Amino acid sequence: MERKLTKREMFFKFLRKMFFLTLGPFIAAFALEVFLVPNNIIDGGIVGVSIILSYLTKINLGLLIFVINIPFFFLAFNKIGKKFVIQTFYAIGMLSLAVNLFTSHHLPVTHDLLLSTVFGGIVLGTGVGLVLKNEGSLDGTEIMSLVLSKKFGFSVGEWIMAFNIFIYGASGLVFGWNKAMYAVLTYFIAFRVIDIVLEGLNSAKSIRIISDKSYEIGQELLEKLNLGVTYLKGVGAYSGAEKTIVFCVVSRLEMAKMKEIIKNIDPNAFISVVDVHEAYGGRTRGSIDKI
């Protein structure tokens, strides 16, 4: 049975979430006002639309970001839920506030387009990632894409890409195609950084080893690397022979030693390596599962 959190634990969990839902928008706003907007490099989604409209109409950027996102709050309320809407409303409100705060201080910027693109993407992705990790959003196009994918088909990613193609096309017409291409590069950098924030920098590997000496290999990994090892039962499709598969998770630093151990026991062992972004729980020893 899942342990219920105490009131104290729930309170600190709430404070932690609100801290990151505040910090994330401020980091994103810093990226926009210090690196991107002064160089006419846009972000994707509603923020990108707001930057273009602010440039053309001279209306306050923070105000535009908030107002244009309002219809998506109501859409999310009906489709996703009250908690997400409230947290998204708060995060976008903080983003609008922070954009105005940084604009009023006229922080120094670099006008080198490549530096602005790279560092703007990194900082922006960090801010957006913190918000997403704490169950909020800074962009209404993701909400619309979720709704459209359920109604008309195509994936959420495909809808987002369609919106962004239109937005970056508009950027090319307004700011020039050179700036539009830098904007696309910023988007891909930010997208990758968001993944890192959400999934972590853990470079662990999930390992499956198929060998006639599986138990010997498993025992050596237990004793020499102190790894948690699980034995899985499998059957070869061609031969029909039963095989014992060794499964474990190792860090990047343990990979070389693990391969050496396997090679010394069975040079013909088959090894499958898969990236693992996060792994939870303790190490189990000697458990046997059958597949």
Residues 174-223 pLDDT 10s = 999 999 999 999 999 998 898 888 777 666 788 999 998 999 999 999 88
Q: What is the pLDDT of residue 192?
A: 87
Q: What is the pLDDT of residue 79?
A: 67
Q: What is the pLDDT of residue 228?
A: 84
Distance from C-alpha of 49 to C-alpha of 26, rounded to nearest angstrom: 19
What are the boundaries of each domain within the chain?
Answer: 7-199, 204-290
Structure tokens at 36: 């991107």
pLDDT at 290 over 70: no
pLDDT at 44 over 50: yes
Task: Decide if 141 contacts 157 (C-beta within 8 A).
Answer: no
pLDDT category of residue 66 using cuts at 50, 70 and 90: very high
Global confidence as pTM = 0.75
- pLDDT tens per residue across span 111-157: 899 999 999 999 999 999 999 888 888 888 877 777 777 777 777 66
Helix axes 45-57, 140-152, angle to 10 degrees: 120
- pLDDT tens per residue across span 76-106: 776 667 888 888 889 999 999 999 998 877 6
Is the domain spanning 204-290 CATH 3.30.70.120? The answer is yes
The Cβ of residue 97 has, within 10 Å, a number of other Cβ atoms equal to 16
The per-residue pLDDT of the chain, averaged, comes to: 85
Q: What is the pLDDT of residue 2?
A: 43
> Looking at the DSSP assignment, which residues form a beta bridge with residue 250?
205
Q: What is the pLDDT of residue 287?
A: 42
The 8-class DSSP code of residue 109 comes to -
pLDDT at 158 over 80: no
Q: What is the pLDDT of residue 109?
A: 78
Q: What is the pLDDT of residue 288?
A: 40
Q: Identify the residue whose tokens are 């939870």.
A: 280
Q: Rank 9-18, 30-39, 245-254 by mean pLDDT and report only the highest.
A: 30-39
- The pLDDT of 24-34, averaged and rounded, is 94
